[in-house]
């Protein structure tokens, strides 16, 4: 099981966007430095949305101006519309992640748009990234269930994946925004998306709201997915999704994958130390991560 699995660290963006503690910019930059020291080479660090709606991301332009550019890291910025796409490109994001939405209810709350409208919008604005030769990925949010509408049809998720691929997305992520997926559903939706977008690279994004994230990641990896989102400490949540709790913890994912023999390129001990720093100094409140509490096995140097 030596196949590599890429971990996309989303703590500095998805992790912090809904946290009750507004982390100062300098502390965010220290967080990013610690993640790089732990081996992270691809991470979400910015969200180009209305700062009145997501105050924690108001410093995204400043963050992008100050992140270290000489350490081999790909910095991802999130965009929901044309203005966000232009801001992400202007601040020299290495990659832009655009969000399509798989249901009407969440689409209206999060982006004030339907699934079809988000797909149409990506058709129009993806060219902005293509012209700048900046890779653009698409996350299909609430791909496993919507907090307002309930179940989300698989064929709609597949349709959006096909639209994303046709418009030039180099990677398609399925987002379990409210943490309702199960391993069997993961396998089925991965297969449907592969059929609709056979050449696209797939990424999976799980929240641990109902304690199924690690099982879902197992199912994704068994289905051949090689890219997984995770958030140091298990922090995160969506401001527009009721009761949405944190992402799956990076150190929990890394521990599971390393024990199975997969290579993530991440130093588990350093990631545990970063999670503990996050709890004690960065956010100054408890985090959800289990491995940060228990340490690695055999006995971790971070224990």
Task: Give the model confidence (pLDDT) of 213-232 as tens digits.
Answer: 999 999 999 999 999 999 99
Per-residue pLDDT tens over the stretch 92-125: 999 999 999 999 988 887 788 899 999 999 999 9
User: What pLDDT is recorded for position 242?
Assistant: 67
Q: Per DSSP, which regions of the chain are E strands?
A: 6-9, 42-47, 74-79, 95-101, 136-141, 171-176, 201-206, 227-230
Q: Is the pLDDT of residue 73 over 90?
A: yes
Q: Is the pLDDT of residue 53 over 90?
A: no
Measured distance CA(127)–CA(255) in Å, rounded: 39
User: What pLDDT is recorded for position 57?
Assistant: 96
Runs of H (alpha helix) within the chain: 25-37, 60-66, 82-90, 104-110, 115-131, 154-166, 183-196, 213-222, 250-259, 268-277, 291-294
User: What pLDDT is recorded for position 301?
Assistant: 66
User: What pLDDT is recorded for position 164?
Assistant: 98
User: What pLDDT is recorded for position 106?
Assistant: 86
Say whether 238 is catalytic.
yes
Residue 255 in contact with residue 291, Cβ under 8 Å? yes
User: What pLDDT is recorded for position 113?
Assistant: 87
Per-residue pLDDT tens over the stretch 201-210: 999 999 999 9
Percent over 70 (pLDDT), the chain: 96
User: What pLDDT is recorded for position 2?
Assistant: 73
What value does the mean pLDDT of the chain take?
95
Q: Is the pLDDT of residue 302 over 80?
A: no
The DSSP output letter for 249 is: B
Buried b (16+ CB within 10 A) or exposed e, 169-197: bebbbbbbbbbbbebebbeebbebbbebb
Angle between helices 250-259 and 268-277 (to 10 degrees): 160
The DSSP output letter for 7 is: E
Across residues 163-180, what is the average pLDDT?
A: 97
Per-residue pLDDT tens over the stretch 244-265: 678 999 999 999 999 999 999 9
Q: Is the pLDDT of residue 170 over 90?
A: yes
Q: Is the pLDDT of residue 162 over 80?
A: yes
Among candidate residues 178, 227, 238, 292, the one labeled active-site is: 238
Locus of tokens 């304690």 = 211
In this prediction, residue 299 has a pLDDT band, given cuts at 50, 70 and 90, of confident
Residue 235 in contact with residue 278, Cβ under 8 Å? yes
Locus of tokens 């798989």 = 102
């Amino acid at each position: 099981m030596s196949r590599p699995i890429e971990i996309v660290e989303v703590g500095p963006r998805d992790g912090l966007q809904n946290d009750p503690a507004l982390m100062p910019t300098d502390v965010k930059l220290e967080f990013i430095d610690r993640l790089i020291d732990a081996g992270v080479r691809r991470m979400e660090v910015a969200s180009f949305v209305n700062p009145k709606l997501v105050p924690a991301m108001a410093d995204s332009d400043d963050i992008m101006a100050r992140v270290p550019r000489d350490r081999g890291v790909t910095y991802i910025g999130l965009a929901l519309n044309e203005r966000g796409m232009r801001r992400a490109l202007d601040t020299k994001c290495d990659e832009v992640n655009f969000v399509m939405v798989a249901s009407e209810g969440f689409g209206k709350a999060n982006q004030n748009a339907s699934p079809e409208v988000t797909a149409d919008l990506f058709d129009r604005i993806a060219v902005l990234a293509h012209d700048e030769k900046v890779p653009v990925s698409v996350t299909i949010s609430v791909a496993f269930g919507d907090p307002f509408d309930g179940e989300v049809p698989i064929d709609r998720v597949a349709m959006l994946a096909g639209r994303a691929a046709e418009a030039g997305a180099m990677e398609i992520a399925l987002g379990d925004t409210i943490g309702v997926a199960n391993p069997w559903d993961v396998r089925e939706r991965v297969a449907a998306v592969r059929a609709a977008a056979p050449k696209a690279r797939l990424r999976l994004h799980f929240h641990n709201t109902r304690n199924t994230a690690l099982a879902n990641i197992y199912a994704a990896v068994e289905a051949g997915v090689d890219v997984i989102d995770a958030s140091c400490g298990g922090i995160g949540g969506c401001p527009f999704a009721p009761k949405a709790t944190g992402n799956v913890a990076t150190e929990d994912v890394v521990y599971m994958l390393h024990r199975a023999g997969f290579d993530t390129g991440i130093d588990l001990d350093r990631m545990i130390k970063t999670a503990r720093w996050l709890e004690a100094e960065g956010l100054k409140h408890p985090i959800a991560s289990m491995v940060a509490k228990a340490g690695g096995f055999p006995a971790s140097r971070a224990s």
